[in-house]
Chains A and B, each alone.
Chain A
Amino acid sequence: MLAYILRRLALSALILLGVSFITFVLLYVLPADPVRQIAGRSATPETVASIRRQLGLDQPFVVQYGHYLWNLLQGDLGRSYLQKTEVAALITSRLPATLLLMLAAITCELVIGLTLGVIAALYRGRALDNVLMLSSFVTVSAPQFVVALLLLYVFAVKLGWFPIGGYGTFAHLVLPALTLGILGSGWYARIMRSSMLDVLRADFIRTARAKGLGRGRIILGHAIPNAILPVIAMIGIDIGIFMSGIVVVESVFGWPGIGQLAWQAIQRVDIPIIMGVTLVSAFAIVIGNLLADLISPLIDPRIKLR
């Protein structure tokens, strides 16, 4: 078990190396110039050149990347071009907010999605099923900012139940978590529904009925534990999609997490921050997948970790 985790973590180091390289290349070939952002429009060519030299951006790509990697191995993510703060410190200060939002949002989407999926499967082919599947289709296809603004308008502006934005209390958390939760729930509802339908047709469900078990026991004790297996693997993959949603939602709600940090950094071409946030997100995805893989054998004894 421990050996498995260590092996997976070693593998994740390779993944992070790949991510850092690809991101670095993308930022290098980007037409936007960070030096112009720092120096401002009225700067003389001499100032621009001196800033460029200072930041090491006049070096060839290989040297720049090698330099970055060397620092990275020592745990140094560099300094922000504009704020001059340590990127590591920036991210650490904002990570708790993002983790809190992620946890709340994942709980939201699982509770909403799985419940609706189970209900739809049990009412298969009837009106309720059709309504649920149609609404899940809407949530799957709706853009994040639309849902965010809609919730903001109804529950914060019109009804005034929740604050319009910011961070600090539970009330601040509700709308951003709900936005991400509703958006993600459609996927889970659909996966859970089809998984449930497969399981409900299985022979062992018939066996459970032949034993004389009640409907509730059969659904809770036999159908759902089997139906949830493919969903767990999805959660790991989903965290990747989730990170992109977080950038938008944090910006709309003014949630001081790393998504917002990334959004601001992208606008200012603050390469060290973009690199840092990307690596942290990639690490989160790796950990998410690892967790999903560690949970699966607890539910399904057929899965062996090797």
Chain B
Amino acid sequence: MTMPALSPADDVVLSLRDLKVSARSDQGLIPLIEGLSLELRRGETLAIAGESGSGKSITSLAIMGLLPQPAVRVTGGTIHLGETELTGLSEAKMQRLRGARIAMIFQEPMTALNPVMSIGRQLTEAIRAHEALSMREARARALEALKAVRLSQPERRLEQFPHELSGGMRQRVMIAMAIALKPDVLIADEPTTALDVTVQREVLDLIRDLQRDLGTAVILITHDMGVVAEMADRVIVMQKGRVVETAPTIDLFDAPRETYTRELLAAVPRIGGGPARTATATEDVLVRYQDVSVRFPIRQGLLGRVTAQVHAVEQVSLEIFKGETLSLVGESGCGKSTMARALVGLVPHSGRIEVAGRALAELDGPARKALRRDLQIVFQDPMAALDARMTVGELIREPLLIHGIGTAAEQRARVCDLLERVGLTAAVYNRYPHQFSGGQRQRICIARALALKPKLIVCDESVAALDVSIQAKVLELLRDLQREMGVSFLFISHDMAVVENVSDRVAVMYLGQIVEMGSRAQLFGNPQHPYTQRLLAAVPVPDPKRPRAAAARMAGEIPSPVWPLGQGPARVRLEDIGGGHLVAR
């Protein structure tokens, strides 16, 4: 990456001076942003980085004039777009700038497009809102924009509806919409957070190319320091509505001045930077999958006959040993979560799953219930996984009640013990989930999973929704628990760096099958399968000086796992290339 030559001041396209944004509440005004100043020059990428609650998204909404007024509003400072002052602008004038001179891409491509309007209409509507073009001319412009974002079959896309496109394709459409009118400033708010890592790579490359071609100034809002390092010229680090540090990207990663920045960078999981693991794994097999398949029927017609099946998991075999952490990685739809769901009995499976030597299918009711004690699961979204009307104490105690373990006093004592174990205090017993932060809630979920002293805990994207500093602490907690209690983890994640951090062994899944499996060192040190290599290459690295490989641009979608009845994918054969490192041939 080349640093842009220092530009003269008149190249500034957007400048914020001492911006203050506050939210109205019963306790008066609550400041959300306290004095933010920045300058954005033509062709530059400025990253605003920070964890949740830092005010980075509020900043973007303030610039766009999209704050949820009157509850949240600008209470001081100025925003200049070129010569125009935006904070005092009427809604009508602001409308003319929005989409034309400042455009925005949002985080969630699945919901950011109107589901009942064709892609073509949504694009032409945006174009015609600002330029007096005929329908035909606007369509030509829309087509041009779709070509610019390298969307396959652009003519066909114009007629399609959002649900017919994948997440990555929708985000391309969003970008096409944003750049169609060649805005001066493009604000990208977590543009790749909801995307798979290989798709993220493509979208980041796309934004960078477009910026180079069009000279658009980009504000990139992200929590991901890897993305910052790969994309930004300069970085503003924010925390709780205040600017912590502003610096050129290279300087920030080389020599962060502020403690918070240092902590933030230290918490970022890096591939190859995981702590050495204390070997807790044993030789005893705890869980064995043997030719396990999970297929979901697709029914059609009046009688609901099964005409096709989704092959979510296809004849997978693997073992989890006592005290080890086995990670399943892969992109959305690869079957990694379904593997876990089959294990805990949330979806039916064929084939054989053994837990401690006993096949799940052969267990009767009471034995199944007993088995449930040994298998616990921690989900991705702790708020959704905790009943908002129960206190934390009741939530953690509930498994003990269900399995009838101990007297009320003993249960209470156990809950207090668990709370302390996960880094909370017994004093929170009577509080409700909404009174906790995301990280604390996930600790509550972990405490609940631990209540029955399980032999295996499934962590299904359990740290994906957490800020990196919190994420690091939760991962550390999991490691400590494993050391103390010898529990095994089945760790499911799309984040290669996190996986590298916690795993003893790793299995890479693609379209319902394992394509590579081995120890952490084998898989990360010597990835053999092309898909594993592609996954690893796609991970943004938090090091701006690392030469970015001119990665092979893998356009194209992952094939469908839906097969007509009686057909299925060819079974992948795994071959041991030494030391238990299995690779698909």
Contact = CB atoms under 8 A, between A and B. Distances in A.
Interface of A: 7, 10-11, 202-204, 206-215, 217, 221-222, 225-226, 229, 299-302, 306
Contact of B66 (A204, A209, A215): A209
Given A202-B111, A211-B99, A222-B117, 15 more contacts: A7-B302, A203-B108, A203-B112, A206-B66, A206-B112, A207-B174, A210-B64, A210-B99, A210-B104, A211-B98, A211-B126, A213-B126, A300-B115, A306-B300, A306-B301
Q: How large is the interface on B (under 10, 10 to 19, 20 to 34, 35 or more residues)?
A: 20 to 34
B127 to A, nearest CB: 9
A203 B111 CA distance: 6
Contacts of B112: 203-204, 206-207
Nearest to B301: A306
Interface string B43-72: 000000000000000000000101000000
Interface of B: 64, 66, 91-92, 95-100, 103-104, 106, 108, 111-118, 125-126, 129-130, 161, 163, 174, 177, 300-302
Which 7 A-B residue pairs are closest in the complex by CB-CB distance? Answer: A212-B99, A212-B98, A203-B111, A211-B126, A211-B99, A301-B161, A204-B114
A200 B479 CA distance: 44
* B96, B113, B115, B174 — most chain A CB neighbours (10 Å): B115
A204 B95 contact: no
Contacts of A206: 66, 106, 112
B301 to A, nearest CB: 7
B301 A213 contact: no
A225 B116 CA distance: 7
B116 A301 contact: yes
Contacts, number: 82
Nearest to B126: A211
21 contacts: A7-B302, A202-B111, A203-B106, A203-B108, A203-B111, A204-B115, A207-B106, A207-B177, A208-B114, A210-B66, A210-B104, A211-B125, A211-B177, A212-B96, A212-B126, A222-B117, A225-B116, A300-B116, A301-B115, A306-B300, A306-B301
Contacts of B177: 207, 211
B181 to A, nearest CB: 9
A225 B117 contact: yes
Contacts of B108: 203
Contacts of B126: 211-213
B357 to A, nearest CB: 45
A301 B113 CA distance: 13
Nearest to A201: B68
Contacts of A202: 111
A209 B102 CA distance: 12
Contacts of A214: 92, 95, 129
A300 B98 CA distance: 28
A286 to B, nearest CB: 15
Contacts of A226: 114-116
Nearest to A208: B114
A204 B122 CA distance: 10
A97 to B, nearest CB: 36
A214 B99 CA distance: 12
Nearest to A199: B114
Contacts of B111: 202-204
Contacts of A208: 114
Contacts of B302: 7, 10-11
A211 B301 CA distance: 41
* A7, A10, A211 — most chain B CB neighbours (10 Å): A211
A211 to B, nearest CB: 4
Contact of A302 (B64, B98, B161): B161
A61 B104 CA distance: 72
Contact of A212 (B116, B118, B129, B174): B129
Contacts of A207: 106, 112-114, 174, 177
Contacts of A11: 302
A221 B163 contact: no
Contacts of B115: 204, 226, 300-302
A210 B174 CA distance: 11
A239 B111 CA distance: 33
Nearest to A306: B300
A125 to B, nearest CB: 12
A202 B116 CA distance: 13
A213 B106 contact: no
Nearest to B121: A221
B114 A209 contact: no
Contact of A210 (B103, B116, B163, B301): B103
A206 to B, nearest CB: 6
A299 B114 CA distance: 12
Nearest to B187: A210
A209 B100 CA distance: 12
A209 B302 CA distance: 42
Given A204-B113, A226-B116, A302-B163, A209 B98 contact: yes
B133 to A, nearest CB: 14
A116 B553 CA distance: 52
Contacts of A222: 114, 117
A226 B114 CA distance: 8
Contacts of A299: 116
A169 B96 CA distance: 52
A7 B174 CA distance: 40
B108 to A, nearest CB: 6
B117 A213 contact: no
A209 B106 CA distance: 12
A306 B304 CA distance: 10
Contacts of A211: 98-99, 125-126, 129, 177
A10 to B, nearest CB: 8
A204 B119 CA distance: 12
Contacts of B174: 207
Nearest to A205: B114
A247 to B, nearest CB: 33
Contacts of B163: 301-302
